[in-house]
Structure 1
Amino acid sequence: MVTAAPGEERSLALALVNTRRLSAGDEVDDLADPRDATEWLRGHDLPAVRLTAEDVSRLTGLRTAVRELLTALAEDRRPSAAAVETVNAAARADAAAPQLAWTAGPNRKWHSTRPGSVEEALATLARDAIDVASGELGEVVRACEAHGCVRLFFREHARRRWCSTTCGDRVRAARHQRLVVEQRERA
């Protein structure tokens, strides 16, 4: 089980982007096939109808666009127009309206006109990406600084540089090993 990167619990879009990552030098894709993608949607309380290969392709296409959007934020640059259009198209694929729910206080929830559909899942992910990019969280999106890591996270502490303690430990171990080798060479 992979530890969630900081912020994944607050953003479906960030969790989506991190479904493709490197682990022990191998690429891992949590959306590799319809069964895996359906399971990922279920695990994130999104409509998990039986996905087809075409649905998975649409989901991974959205993931690529959202990664471009969030990476552009982390790098303080403009994202590609194609990525912006892909996210916008997914967001408008399901007409939804905000509804007020009152549980422990006021809470805004989006209600789909196509509940339980792939379009609802994609639109929910796209709307979250738009909220992140245009809101306060966009300012704290960062790429993990560990060599070989491709995950993104929300940097909510000024000293945080890695997406997980595993990446931080790898960087520190590599630094220690480099120092040991340098000391041996000097001796």
Structure 2
Amino acid sequence: MTSRTRWVWLGDHLAVDFANTTIGLADRREELIGTVAEFREWVEAEPAWLPPLGADSIDLAAVLRQRDATDRLLRNAALQRPLDPEDVELVNDRVRAAGVSRLLTTVPGTSRLAADAGFPALLGVLAAATVDLLGREDLAAIAVCEAPGCGQVFHRSRRNQRWCSPGCGNRARVDRHRHRNPAAGAASTR
């Protein structure tokens, strides 16, 4: 799988992109950053600004621990459940350790997270993105895709959005049609 097709979904909020570095549902999730090389590939493909890693060594276990905490936090927020205090503390510790700040850009109404270069700074920016998203008043905008086999976290662009992408919406509608019309599903498998 090339980098371009592997990361085709990137471009949502940075915290969402980070949480979605696994694909699938429950016990059938596929890890997309299971190696240091895959993590570096994701960092290079991510469209949001990230501090340069340089030659820093990467603690993949720390990345995955933080990604999993971010994923749980976003899913709990989407389901309107309380946030796990240990996950909150891990994220807050990473922000404090990196000294992340928010800076204005030259485009009115926009800003970006900033930190020094290196691995701790990168983890800090990823953690600060989680704080940024979960600290907003519009938590109802965080959702989990309802399409069969997806389960990705996404940031809704409209209140009634149920799927993370048009492709997932099409898959969900086809699945719903098959369940309503069993003969249609049998005909399409011939």
Instruction: Give the TM interval when normalised to the shorter protein.
Output: 0.7 to 0.9
What amino acid is aligned across from residue 31 of structure 2 in structure 1?
A: D
Contact 1:70-1:138 at 8 Å conserved across structures = no
More strand by share: 1
Match of 1:59 among 63, 77, 101: 63
Match of 1:11 in 2: 13
Match of 2:22 among 20, 34, 45: 20
Distance in 2 between residues matched to 1:183 and 1:107, nearest whole Å = 49
Contact 1:144-1:150 at 8 Å conserved across structures = yes
State the percentage of identical aligned residues: 26
Distance in 2 between residues matched to 1:86 and 1:31, nearest whole Å = 20
Match of 1:169 in 2: 170
Cα RMSD of the aligned pairs, angstroms, is 2.8
Deviation at 1:97, TM superposition (A): 4.0
Distance in 2 between residues matched to 1:40 and 1:77, nearest whole Å = 29
What 5-or-longer segments of structure 2 have no aligned partner?
186-190
Contact 1:141-1:153 at 8 Å conserved across structures = yes
- 1:111 to 1:180, Cα distance in 2 relative to 1, 3 A: closer
Q: SS state of the match for residue 142, structure 1? A: strand
What amino acid is aligned across from residue 149 of structure 2 in structure 1?
A: G
Query: Matched residue pairs, number?
Result: 177
Match of 2:54 in 1: 49
Match of 2:135 in 1: 134
TM-score under structure 1 normalisation? 0.80
Spell out the pairing of 1:1-187 with structure 2 (5 A cutoff).
1=5, 3-4=8-9, 9-22=11-24, 27-44=29-46, 45-46=49-50, 47-50=52-55, 52=57, 55-101=59-105, 103-105=106-108, 108-112=111-115, 115-181=116-182
Structure of higher RCO (CA pairs closer than 8 Å, 6+ residues apart): 1
- 1:111 to 1:128, Cα distance in 2 relative to 1, 3 A: closer
TM-score under structure 2 normalisation? 0.79
Distance in 2 between residues matched to 1:10 and 1:164, nearest whole Å = 11
Q: SS state of the match for residue 37, structure 1? A: helix
Contact 1:35-1:51 at 8 Å conserved across structures = no
Deviation at 1:137, TM superposition (A): 4.5
Deviation at 1:50, TM superposition (A): 4.8
- Which string of whole-angstrom CA distances, capped at 9 and with x for unpartnered residues, describes residues 118-141 of structure 1? 111100011110011011343310
